[in-house]
Homo-oligomer: A and B are copies of this chain.
Amino acid sequence: MDIIYFFDLAGTLVFSISGALTAIERKFDVFGASVIAFVTALGGGTIRDVLIGRQPVGWMLDTNYLIVIAVGIFLSYLFGTGVHKLRRTLFVFDTIGIGLYTILGLEKTLAFGLAAPIAVIMGTVSAVFGGVLRDVLCNEVPLIFRKEIYATACIAGGLLFLALSALNVERDAAMLITVFFIIILRILAVKYKWNLSPREA
């Protein structure tokens, strides 16, 4: 199994756990928690695929995604809020996940012959719209519109990846550098409470 596919599935697992825990906190039933886990994990990529016309959408052709999401839901019920003790681990995988989702989304969009700015947007959509859908279904203002520079890290990462590609940096190296860049950006952002909110201005 290649490394990118491994991290893709790892990101799916973390997003699934994040979705399931959110739903469990809100006292949704098992079905509701499963839908939220599913939507959080696959929503961003699904929107991207539908907009660029890649149908059936990606996860429909590989049931491993479903299995990984089911495992995430199972773990969430098994450990419940205890999973929160793994906060640091989850944070790392979540960040690797969004980094990878951004780059994979960007590449898939370029592969459809679309322009680079569109690809950066679609990369960001892949990474963050799963969380947006999760929040909309939970009847909340999407967290990402108010907190952290989560999305900005995706955009910056997408631009960096494009720049590295333009400089003919080898793909795997560019991907590695970009994911590290996004991780460091997020760690710094959380540590120093960077955000773009006008309330902090």
A interface residues with partner B (beta carbon < 8 Å)? 23-24, 26-33, 35-36, 46, 50-53, 55-57, 60-61, 63, 66, 112, 114-115, 117-118, 121, 132, 136-142, 144-147, 149, 151-152, 155, 195-199
Interface of chain A, main secondary structure: helix
Question: In angstroms, how far is the closest chain B Cβ from the Cβ of A121?
Answer: 8
**Interfacial chain B residues near A145, Cβ < 8 Å:** 23, 28-29, 31-33, 35-36, 137
The CA of A179 and the CA of B60, in the complex, are separated in Å by 26
A-B contact pairs, 10 of them (CB 8 A): A29-B145, A30-B196, A31-B145, A31-B149, A31-B196, A33-B145, A35-B132, A35-B151, A66-B121, A139-B140
Please tell me if the beta carbons of A198 and B27 are within 8 angstroms of each other in the complex: yes
Q: Which residues of B lie under 8 Å from residue A30 when comparing CB positions? A: 196
Residue in contact with A32 in the complex, picked from B35, B63, B139, B144, CB distance below 8 Å: B144
The answer on a CB contact under 8 Å between B139 and A141 is: yes
A60 x B56 contact (CB < 8 A): no
Smallest CB gap from A154: residue in B: B31
